[in-house]
Every structure is written in structure tokens, then in C-alpha cells.
Structure 1
Amino acid sequence: MSKHDFSATEFIDRLTRARAAVAAAKLDWMVLFHPVSILWLTGGEAKSYRAFQCLLLAADDRPLTMITNGTDVAEWRDDSRADEVIGWAGPEPEDPIEVFARVARAHGLLDARVGIEVPGFYLHPSHYTRIRDLLGGALVAEPSNLIHELKAVKSPAELAFVREAAARADAAMTALFGAIRDGAMELELAAEAHRALLASGCTLPASQMNLVTGERLCYPIGGPTQRRMARGDAGTVEVGAAFRRYTATLGRQFSLGEPSRRVREVFAVVKDAGEAMLAEIRDGVAAVVPHEAAKRVIAAAGLDRYRLHTSGYGLVPGFPPSWGDPTINLFGGSKSVLRAGMVVTIEPPVFIHEERVGARMIDNIIVTETGCEVLSQVPREIAVRG
């Protein structure tokens, strides 16, 4: 993504809503660390999240200030809507927190009411503690989901990118199925999917592909290995497609030759659980409702203790290692409410280690007023090859 991917009007609307949310939280400033928050407001996607970056967002109409690694300054200036870009390091090492301290003092943060994001992957603990100590009494809140909640419902332009990503995930899955043969490595199958994604204009997804076969079928999120397929092996795969950073995921079951009876039994339960979830989804439904529908199906089959993964979650533009929205989860105890325009995954799982079997079908849907739009066209069946 860059500032050119959406209209100036859309970015202005996002910024206006974000400033209002900061003010409503009784804050003068928010310091944003999550790359998705920064992307949503500025369009910038440079890889400075790998070290230290932040965006200073004021409740009033002051410049958006980006602090980034010196290697990324040019990209932020060219491809983002940040008004001011300040780099740390460059020809020689530099302490980014010292640079943050200078900028914070210059912009008056130490004499204001400040909130900060504390994301799970993108803020080093030592940086967090030093920033907290620097801000002292000015740090009055840590509303980490303030921006995430604003962007949970996607705009028509964002949904167009999600649909583009979903179409490319379909094509990648088809390419992967075409590579299934006796002796094929799991990594060869993954390579065909990645080739299809990159050739179609996608970037690499934010998370490693999940792909397991044979005796590894019981691993919920196992990555591809040098294991070679043999006739009778079943497999499960999750492909992630990233188009302009907007992510679509797709998970399917496959088999080299006829799958075993037990594989088909477990797969049928998982498929029915997904169908039960789809039937419950619409605007205004609590996210726990489709989750409970899936649980009932799996429990009725005597497999409830083998649910080893969430039933679903929200999707965001992905940055390694995650493409998940921290505010939308379809699992027990979730407080999320589904709204039209949200993009979520449907993926109730069953994985049985002692039997060396497992299944998870993954589909992305857009929540609508009366139901949902399923994005994939790949059949929800076991793909039998050979």
C-alpha cells in the first residue's frame, strides 16, 4: 500500500475520525506503534517496524510526525501522508529512544495528556519501558485498540482490495493442487502457491504458509518441510495472499489418492461446523454466536476436546508475523460484535494427535446486513489428486 492506493478524501476521513477518537478519549496525543494503525492513517508500509517506528497523532490539527529508521526515511517521504518524517541512525548507530525524546519535547508531549499503543509484536519491551519512564505523568492511557476499532469496518475501496487478494488466494490454491504427486515435497507444493501469488502482483504474506501432510496432519499450524508425499497421504494447507497489504486467507484439505475413512469423517465434521458458522453471521450478531454454533457441531461428534485453534478472527493488512485483527475474535468469551463491512475468517478446527489426523477449512467472509459474502470460489471439499 501507499498513499496513492486510496483517495485523498478517504485518508482525510480516516484522520478526522482518528483525531476525534483521541479527543473523545480525553487525550492530546496518541503515539502509534502498530504498523497497521500507521498504514491506515498514512499509507506508508516501509519495513521500519522491524526496529523502531512510531507516528505522533494529535487530537487537534497538528502535523502527523513519523519517527523511523534512517534507511526508511525516503520511502516514508515518498509513499506516505506523514507531514514530517524524522529518521534515527543512518551512517552510524543511534538510539531511537533518544530521538523520540527530542521529538516528544519539541512537540510538547511531556506537558500533555498522552496515550500509547502497546502492540504484541511491534514494540520492544525495553523501548516500551523507556518511553513510559520518559513520558512519566504525561502518559495517562494505553488504549491499544483505539485505531483498530475505527478501521474494523472496511471502506468499499478496502473491500475491493480484499476481494482482489481472495481471487489470488484461489489461484494459488489451484496451483498448489496441480503440484500434488507421489514424491512431491511439502516445500514444492508451497513454492507453487508462492510463485502464483508473486506472479499475480501479491507480496509475500505476513505469516508463513501452514502446510502439513501424512503423519504431520495433526499439526494445526505446521509449516511445510522436506517431507515427500506418498499415495494415501492427506494434507491440509492455509494460503495467505497479500494484495496492497490487504490479506485473504484460504484453507483446504487435499489427498494423494483416496483419503482414509477417518480423514473423511473428521473433515465432514469440520465442514459442517463451518457451515453452521456461516448460517449465523450477519450484521449485529455477537461474534461468540457463530463460534458456539461450531462448538455444538464438533461436540456432537465427540471431538470438542480436539478444537486446538480459534473458530475465526478479523483480518487486517498483514505485517509479519501477523495478519489478525486484535479486536475481532470468534471464540469463547469474545466481546466482539460483527458489523457489515467487517472481514473475518471462518475456520473451526479439529486436530487429533494420537490419531495423526486433523482438518481445518478456512474461508474469508465479508459481513453483510443480512448474512455474509464468501470470498473463495474453491470448493469446500477434499481435493483428491492422483
Structure 2
Amino acid sequence: MRAKFASFTEQEHRARLAEARRLLKEQGIDHCISMAPESLYYYGGYDSWVSVNSPQALIFSADDGEPTIILRDTDLSLAYESSWVKDIRHYRLMFDDVPAIFASIAKEKGLRGGKVAIETQSYALPHSLGLALAKALAPAEIVDATVLLGMPRLIKSPSEMAYMRKAGEYAQAGLEAARRAMQPGMSEIALAGEIEHAMRAAGSDYWSIPTELASGERTAGGHATARNRIIERGDLVHLEFAGVAARYHATAIHTMAAGEPSIRAREVYDAGRESLAAGIGAIHVGANVTDIEEASLEPLRKAGMEDAAVMRFGYGIGVAYPPIWLEPLQISRGSNQIMQAGMVFVLHAYLQFPDEQLGIIQGGTYALTEQGVEMLIGGGDVPLEVI
């Protein structure tokens, strides 16, 4: 049975594809070779992580013709079980000229020159493949469509929001497991194992970024993953991990203490908490993202800790495949994006003091509705939790 494991209706996918075509026409682009796995899933329903080692693409024109999926022969059944697309073709790795095949399909759809959209910032497009594609597509000009194809994903439909909430439930299972399991004397890896087991047991799909977990003197590492370090009494332990439903990610972010921490650790945590609350308070439909991050920094300026806030305040999240789970919404200075109802995003107040071997991160995943900001999962604006 075709598309037995589809997560959305063909109608919803076709509506998304129609929006992508509208955006292409606005930019004067007639054809698209979409290679990012997030796009293949969002527009074509094809659920597969293998873009990072086996080129695959959704190829379509800006007109109303049917799209084509092209992939490696060994993955053909993956497309049959998840995608609504009828024209699915394959190639043999190491034997077939993949860039030439992609170009040939685009030319079938009318490509003769002009512009062709490709997500050139995707990890699915290594430099060597990009060069070969450019040669095969000549004289057509490759235009980066990473943002163009990613922007429609920022506003979640009701069916997408249902998956986001389910992903939040899976992450909640991981957060509860951390609270139950964490104790002095256990290793960071053992704690990560408890978290990951709980999420998988609850029903979570695999996540796109490793569980980030650091304790004690390692907490100044914002993207630290678990090591064999033994958690000691009084250590701060900060966590960042995602539950996943139908490839939709909801990230839990939380800092806890394994017993009573130092006065300095509490001071840093409380400053981060104030920063998080101030940023959340600035979020509303129509808010500029620069203003949101500026609001989050105001309490830190007063505390003399602004220089310790080295991460952006937030980013969009939703469909994701390894190695990242970010969408093209940047809640940060330097961006002029406007917040809209239906957006889902990660917020984090992160402070690091490398010289003190101390850091905290606090936040979670939030949705913006017409009624305001709703936390889907995370530690959020709460007093330091001492286990």
C-alpha cells in the first residue's frame, strides 16, 4: 500500500507545494531541485534521513506539473511508504551520473536556462556535488532557496501543531526521567541514557541533535554532550534534548542542581531566569525579533552579565533531520523578522563564565497564538530546581 506511513494528507502537501511555487514565481525562478531532507518531507511527504550520504531530490517546476522524486535505488521503498508523489525514480550509487540525472529530470520539466532553486546551505549538498550540479545544469543559474523553501514551515497548521504537542509530551517524559534519576555519583552518560530511554519508551522518533548535557565544571560548554564525568553533590546540571513526533521536534531546556549549589551558581541562574522572563514578556504577534532579544538582555545589563550571554535568544523549530533542528526564524539582533501566530520556537537564556567553569541554560519550546505565548515543554521561568 502506497503512503501507508504518511503523516499528512496529500491535500496538505499539495497546498504546501503550491505555496512554494508561488514564492518561486515571485522571485522569477521557474524550476526547483530541492535536496534538503526537511523540504522533501514537508513538500513531498518523503521521510528519510539519508540525504547526508545518498543524494536525493524533489524536482518540480513553478507551474502546475507533477513533481518527481529521485533517490538511490536502495531507498525506493522508503518513498513508497511515506510519499504521495507518483513519479518516483532511482539511480545506482557509484555507477550512475547523479548530477546528470537530476539535470535531465529538470530539463524534462522545461529547464533550458534561467534560474533553478536549490538549498545550497543544506548539509545534503556537499561542495563537490554542488559543483557537479552547476556544471550539469548549465547554462541555468543556481539560486539559493534555503530560506525561500524554509519560510513556509514557520507557520504551523493545526495538524502540525498536534505533532508539536505530541513531541512535547515525549520530551516531558525525558524531563521527568531526569528528575527521577539524577543524583550525585552517577555519570552524565548514565543520566543521558535515562532521558533517552524514557523518550523512546514513550514513543518518540529519533532526534536530530545529540542530547546536550553538562555538569559541574563542564557547564560553561553550551553545546556539551554527556561524558563519563561523575556528577557531584552541589553541581549544576544543564540539559537540552528533544522529543520527536513525525519528525516534528520539541526541545526541553532546563538547569537543575544535584543538591544545594553555591551562592554564585544561584546568582547566575537567577539572572538567566530574569532574562528568560523578560524576553518572553516582549513576545506578541507583530513583535520584531530584535526587540525581543533586547528585552532579554536588559536584566543582564543591570546585573553586569550581558557579555556572558553569547547565544541568540531563540530560533524556529519544527521538521528536522540530522544534523540540525533549526528553522529559518532567528530571534536575535541582526534579524528583522516579525513574530506571527502559528510560529513555534525555542527560547533559551544562556550564560557562560568559562573562567569560573560555570554556566546555565534555561528555556524550552514555545508556541505563539493569538492568545499569547504558550510553553510546550521545558524548564521555563521557574526557581532553580534542586534535586
- The structural deviation recorded for 1:148 is 1.1
- The structural deviation recorded for 1:219 is 0.8
Deviation digits for residues 299-340 of structure 1, max 9, x if unmatched? 211111111211110002121110001x21111111211100
SS at match of 1:347: strand
Deviation digits for residues 184-230 of structure 1, max 9, x if unmatched? 01001100111011111111210011100011111111000011112
The answer as to whether partners of 1:252 and 1:382 remain within 8 angstroms in 2 is no
Q: TM-score, normalised by structure 2?
A: 0.94
Residue of structure 1 in register with 2:86 after alignment: 83
Of 93-102 and 263-272, more deviation after overlay is shown by 93-102
Residue of structure 2 in register with 1:357 after alignment: 358
- The structural deviation recorded for 1:141 is 2.8
Unaligned runs of 5+ in 2: none
- The structural deviation recorded for 1:373 is 1.1
Residue of structure 1 in register with 2:347 after alignment: 346
Which one of 303, 307, 311 corresponds to residue 309 of structure 2? 307
**Counterpart Cα distance in 1 of 2:50 and 2:359:** 38
- The structural deviation recorded for 1:167 is 1.6
1:176 aligns with 2:178: yes
1:228 aligns with 2:257: no
SS at match of 1:215: helix
Give, as a single letter, the amino acid of the residue that structure 2 aligns with 1:45. Answer: D
Residue of structure 1 in register with 2:71 after alignment: 68
Residue of structure 1 in register with 2:286 after alignment: 284
The answer as to whether partners of 2:363 and 2:379 remain within 8 angstroms in 1 is no
Residue of structure 1 in register with 2:168 after alignment: 166
**Counterpart Cα distance in 1 of 2:319 and 2:371:** 25
Shift in alpha-carbon separation, 1:350–1:159, aligned structure 2, 3 A:
same
Shift in alpha-carbon separation, 1:165–1:328, aligned structure 2, 3 A:
same
Residues 48-127 of structure 1: matches in 2 within 5 Å? 48-51=50-53, 52-89=55-92, 93-111=95-113, 113-127=115-129
Residue of structure 1 in register with 2:367 after alignment: 366
Residue of structure 2 in register with 1:199 after alignment: 201
- The structural deviation recorded for 1:375 is 1.4
Give, as a single letter, the amino acid of the residue that structure 1 aligns with 2:56. Answer: Q
Residue of structure 2 in register with 1:16 after alignment: 18
- The structural deviation recorded for 1:98 is 3.1
**Counterpart Cα distance in 1 of 2:202 and 2:142:** 46
**Counterpart Cα distance in 2 of 1:186 and 1:107:** 53
Give, as a single letter, the amino acid of the residue that structure 1 aligns with 2:83. Answer: S
Instruction: Figure out how many residues of one structure are paired with residues of the other and give that number.
Output: 383
SS at match of 1:61: coil
Residue of structure 2 in register with 1:134 after alignment: 136
SS at match of 2:6: coil
- The structural deviation recorded for 1:249 is 0.5
Give, as a single letter, the amino acid of the residue that structure 2 aligns with 1:342. Answer: M
**Counterpart Cα distance in 2 of 1:98 and 1:61:** 24
Of 98-107 and 256-265, more deviation after overlay is shown by 98-107
The answer as to whether partners of 1:3 and 1:42 remain within 8 angstroms in 2 is no
- The structural deviation recorded for 1:3 is 6.3
Which one of 144, 148, 156 corresponds to residue 146 of structure 1? 148
Residue of structure 2 in register with 1:332 after alignment: 333
**Counterpart Cα distance in 1 of 2:103 and 2:9:** 33
Question: Could you say what the CA RMSD is over the residues aligned between the two structures, in angstroms?
Answer: 1.8
Q: TM-score, normalised by structure 1?
A: 0.94
- The structural deviation recorded for 1:2 is 7.7
The answer as to whether partners of 2:238 and 2:361 remain within 8 angstroms in 1 is yes
Give, as a single letter, the amino acid of the residue that structure 1 aligns with 2:91. Answer: W
- The structural deviation recorded for 1:289 is 1.3
SS at match of 2:203: coil
- The structural deviation recorded for 1:78 is 2.4
Deviation digits for residues 30-85 of structure 1, max 9, x if unmatched? 11111111111111111231221111121112121112122111111221122212
Give, as a single letter, the amino acid of the residue that structure 1 aligns with 2:63. Answer: D
Which one of 321, 324, 333 corresponds to residue 323 of structure 2? 321
**Counterpart Cα distance in 2 of 1:273 and 1:93:** 55
Of 355-364 and 21-30, more deviation after overlay is shown by 21-30
The answer as to whether partners of 1:2 and 1:45 remain within 8 angstroms in 2 is no
